[in-house]
């Protein structure tokens, strides 16, 4: 006699669990990965762009609009990265909660120290430049922390009852990033905040020397001396922030100007630069024109390294930290042997 | 789903109370109707991602409203459209891609008191292949036919087209197109045409604020 009631209870369980989760839509898989890390069980996250897709060139499919229509929170990179498709996507979603200025709309670029902000007169002859700065800032792990903080602040606003969970998840996420960056031992001794303060101020090496802790440095930051001796060519200006953090010399780009296809005369300049600077690798994302890189590699014998700059399906990388780890270790594997 | 009510007057409402210059249709005198009956429009549109690389959009449309042959005569329009696009996830600046698009429309134009009507219909199907960056090759076939009172001349019309388009920049395109037309009203029942088109745009780029 009690069986029907049991069946009804089981049938209701999934819908109750679903209803308690915030529906979050992110423009990129990087944002999706970070949101999952800090949102935990309280969020259901979907990314519009896949990890191996160019976020500059997404089509605002009606199916994407339906996804945004149900979103409690829409998270984007900003700095005009998604400019071409976010407007029709948001307009088509008819979701007032996700529109610009709404609580359910988050641009995580606020608070980021931007690189590549154009100065002086700007026009189309300069290529597809971004007026507000280079938007590929998530490739600096420090900015990954800032992104996570922005997302948590907004999640807390949307779901105050889960605030402590969000903040605990943020601590764990930051601890993961910090340990990958500086090594577990150093983070345990000084704390991630202190180490990042020194790093941002450019004083980390002196600080560690003063503390007699240089030998304890491990993780990505310990690879900086090797990375700084690994000159690279990139296809687009997408690795600027990673290069700045780890002092990787980017001596030239395959694009003559942002968004412009390489011309033969520019490729001649690139080949000359490769010889002059003893370039170690040609780096490009999966969606850039491999033929051009292969052509240059054929002339110079410099290896082509295909590096996803976002995790997720199609990349074999299961999260933001794995993506950074893959990028840094791939580049350092081409460092000269000293 | 979009439902609209709009004026049946004006040059864009040629099948209704539009401001066309014709004053006669199939023996019926077209009058400058003062009818205030509106056009009723409805459109359903939806899209589905079939996979990470394949998406389809479907649409249904309908319009109904008064026409100029009589106060009670109505015109009804119905349409169906489908758009299918394949693009690999690692497409470079939007290329390569393959798209298929088709539309079909049918119209019933009642004459005077709906005892007679003009019925016509048409369809087209086209395919575009963006085979390498900046280049698209396309083919298209269109067909239109109709029936109505003997005083109206209707014939079957077919057109097959092929074109090649090159985008030297995102602001311009150059297109070479060939059309083959077949229709009874043509002098030899068919015609060939070659078009060379250059188009450019000034102003801000769609993806940027300048």
DSSP code at position A44: E
Question: Nearest CB to A63: which of B49, B133, B205?
Answer: B49
As a whole number, mean pLDDT of residues A96-103 equals 96
Min Cα–Cα distance to chain A from B205, Å: 9
What tens digit of pLDDT does each residue of A17-62 get?
Answer: 444 899 999 999 999 999 999 999 999 999 999 999 999 888 888 8
Question: Nearest CB to B55: which of A63, A80, A286?
Answer: A63
Taking contacts as CB-CB distances below 8 angstroms, the residues of chain B near A131 are: 208-210
Min Cα–Cα distance to chain A from B161, Å: 27
Question: Nearest CB to B91: which of A57, A62, A63?
Answer: A57
- Given a contact cutoff of 8 angstroms between Cβ atoms, the answer to whether A181 and A221 are in contact is yes
Q: Taking Cα atoms as reference points, which of B145, B113, B154, B155 lies closest to residue B28?
A: B113
For chain B, list residues with pLDDT below 50: none
Q: What pLDDT, on the 0 to 100 scale, is given for residue A1?
A: 38
- Given a contact cutoff of 8 angstroms between Cβ atoms, the answer to whether A178 and A152 are in contact is no
Q: For the whole model, what pTM was predicted?
A: 0.85
Q: Any CB–CB contact under 8 A between A122 and chain B?
A: yes
- Given a contact cutoff of 8 angstroms between Cβ atoms, the answer to whether B71 and B33 are in contact is yes
B44 forms bridges with which residues in the sheet? B60
Taking contacts as CB-CB distances below 8 angstroms, the residues of chain B near A66 are: 47
What tens digit of pLDDT does each residue of B166-202 get?
Answer: 999 888 999 999 999 999 888 889 999 999 999 998 8
Say how far apart CA B155 and CA B135 lie, in whole Å.
Answer: 36
Taking contacts as CB-CB distances below 8 angstroms, the residues of chain B near A89 are: none
What tens digit of pLDDT does each residue of A167-184 get?
Answer: 999 999 999 999 999 999
Min Cα–Cα distance to chain A from B49, Å: 6
The answer on pLDDT for A157 being more than 90 is: yes
Residues 6+ apart with CB under 8 A from A239: A136, A139, A232, A248, A250, A283, A307, A309, A327
Q: What pLDDT, on the 0 to 100 scale, is given for residue B205?
A: 67
Taking contacts as CB-CB distances below 8 angstroms, the residues of chain A near B91 are: 53-54, 57, 287
The answer on pLDDT for A144 being more than 80 is: yes
Q: What pLDDT, on the 0 to 100 scale, is given for residue B87?
A: 93
Strand stretches in chain A, DSSP E:
22-26, 43-47, 73-76, 105-107, 232-234, 250-253, 281-284, 304-306
Q: What pLDDT, on the 0 to 100 scale, is given for residue A187?
A: 97
Q: Token pair for residue A3?
A: 């069986």
- Contact flag A54-B91 (C-beta cutoff 8 Å): yes
Q: Which residue of B has its CA nearest to A65?
A: B47
- For chain A, the helix, strand and coil percentages under 3-state DSSP, each to the nearest 5: 55, 10, 35
Q: How many CA atoms lie within 13 A of A144 on its CB side?
A: 32
Give the residue from B1, B52, B93 with the most A CB atoms within 10 Å of its CB, the best one to mutate: B93
Q: What pLDDT, on the 0 to 100 scale, is given for residue A8?
A: 42
Q: Any CB–CB contact under 8 A between A249 and chain B?
A: no
As a whole number, mean pLDDT of residues A245-262 equals 92
The answer on pLDDT for A10 being more than 80 is: no
Q: Which residue of B has its CA nearest to A80?
A: B208
> What's the mean per-residue pLDDT of chain A?
92
Q: Which residue of A has its CA nearest to B84?
A: A61
As a whole number, mean pLDDT of residues A6-18 equals 43
Q: What pLDDT, on the 0 to 100 scale, is given for residue A87?
A: 93
Say how far apart CA A26 and CA A24 lie, in whole Å.
Answer: 7
The answer on pLDDT for A104 being more than 60 is: yes
What is the CA angle A308-A32-A128, rounded to 5? 55
Say how far apart CA A182 and CA A162 lie, in whole Å.
Answer: 30
Taking contacts as CB-CB distances below 8 angstroms, the residues of chain B near A313 are: 52
Say how far apart CA A304 and CA B167 lie, in whole Å.
Answer: 28
Taking contacts as CB-CB distances below 8 angstroms, the residues of chain B near A64 are: 49
The answer on pLDDT for A5 being more than 50 is: no
Going by pLDDT thresholds of 50, 70 and 90, the confidence category of residue A198 is very high
Question: Chain B: which residues have CB within 8 Å of chain A?
Answer: 45-49, 52, 55, 57, 85, 87, 89-94, 133, 205-210
- DSSP annotation string for A303-331: PEEE--SS-BTTTTB-SHHHHHHHHHHHH
Question: Nearest CB to B208: which of A52, A62, A128?
Answer: A128
Min Cα–Cα distance to chain A from B93, Å: 6
Question: Nearest CB to B46: which of A57, A62, A288?
Answer: A62
ipTM: 0.72
Q: Token pair for residue B113?
A: 């008191």
Number of Cβ pairs < 8 A linking chain A and chain B: 67
Q: What pLDDT, on the 0 to 100 scale, is given for residue A298?
A: 96
Q: What pLDDT, on the 0 to 100 scale, is given for residue B33?
A: 66
């Amino acid at each position: 006699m009690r069986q029907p009631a049991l069946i009804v209870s089981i049938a209701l369980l999934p819908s109750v669990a679903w209803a308690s989760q915030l529906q979050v839509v992110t423009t990129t898989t990087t944002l999706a990965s970070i949101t999952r890390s800090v949102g935990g069980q309280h969020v259901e996250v979907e990314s519009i762009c896949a990890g191996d897709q160019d976020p500059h060139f997404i089509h605002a499919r009606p199916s994407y609009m339906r996804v945004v229509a149900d979103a409690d929170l829409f998270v984007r990179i900003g700095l005009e990265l998604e400019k071409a498709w976010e407007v029709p996507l948001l307009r088509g979603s008819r979701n007032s909660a996700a529109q610009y200025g709404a609580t359910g709309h988050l641009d995580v670029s606020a608070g980021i120290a931007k690189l590549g902000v154009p100065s002086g007169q700007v026009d189309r002859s300069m290529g597809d430049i971004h007026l507000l700065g280079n938007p590929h800032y998530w490739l600096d792990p420090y900015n990954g922390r800032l992104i996570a903080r922005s997302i948590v602040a907004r999640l807390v606003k949307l779901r105050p009852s889960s605030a402590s969970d969000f903040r605990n998840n943020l601590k764990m996420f930051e601890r993961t990033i910090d340990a990958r960056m500086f090594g577990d031992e150093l983070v345990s001794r000084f704390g991630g905040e202190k180490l990042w303060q020194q790093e941002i101020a450019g004083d980390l090496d002196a600080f560690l020397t003063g503390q007699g802790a240089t030998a304890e440095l491990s993780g990505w930051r310990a690879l900086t001396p090797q990375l700084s001796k690994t000159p690279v060519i990139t296809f687009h200006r997408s690795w600027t922030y990673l290069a700045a953090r780890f002092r990787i010399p980017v001596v030239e780009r395959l694009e003559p100007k942002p968004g412009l296809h390489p011309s033969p005369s520019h490729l001649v300049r690139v080949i000359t630069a490769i010889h002059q600077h003893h370039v170690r690798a040609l780096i490009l994302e999966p969606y850039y024109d491999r033929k051009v890189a292969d052509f240059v590699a054929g002339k110079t014998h410099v290896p082509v390294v295909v590096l996803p700059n976002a995790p997720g399906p199609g990349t074999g990388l299961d999260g933001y930290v794995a993506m950074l780890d893959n990028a840094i270790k791939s580049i350092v594997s081409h460092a000269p042997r000293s | 789903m979009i439902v609209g009510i709009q004026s049946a007057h004006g040059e864009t409402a040629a099948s209704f109370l539009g401001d066309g210059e014709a004053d006669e249709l199939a023996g019926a005198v077209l009058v400058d109707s003062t009818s205030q009956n509106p056009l009723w429009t409805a459109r359903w549109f939806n899209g589905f991602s079939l996979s990470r690389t394949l998406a389809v959009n479907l649409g249904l449309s309908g319009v109904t409203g008064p026409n100029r042959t009589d106060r009670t005569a109505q015109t009804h329009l119905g349409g169906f459209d489908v758009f299918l696009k394949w693009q690999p996830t690692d497409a470079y600046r939007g290329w390569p891609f393959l798209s298929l698009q088709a539309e079909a429309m049918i119209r019933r134009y009642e004459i005077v008191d709906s005892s007679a009507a003009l019925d016509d219909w048409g369809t087209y199907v086209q395919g575009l292949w963006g085979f390498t960056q900046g280049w698209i090759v396309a083919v298209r076939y269109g067909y239109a036919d109709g029936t109505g009172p003997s005083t109206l001349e209707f014939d079957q019309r077919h057109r097959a087209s092929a074109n090649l388009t090159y985008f030297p920049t995102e602001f311009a395109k150059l297109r070479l197109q060939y059309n083959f037309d077949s229709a009874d009203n043509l002098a030899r029942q068919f015609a060939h045409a070659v078009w060379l088109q250059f188009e450019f745009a000034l102003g801000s780029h769609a993806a940027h604020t300048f």
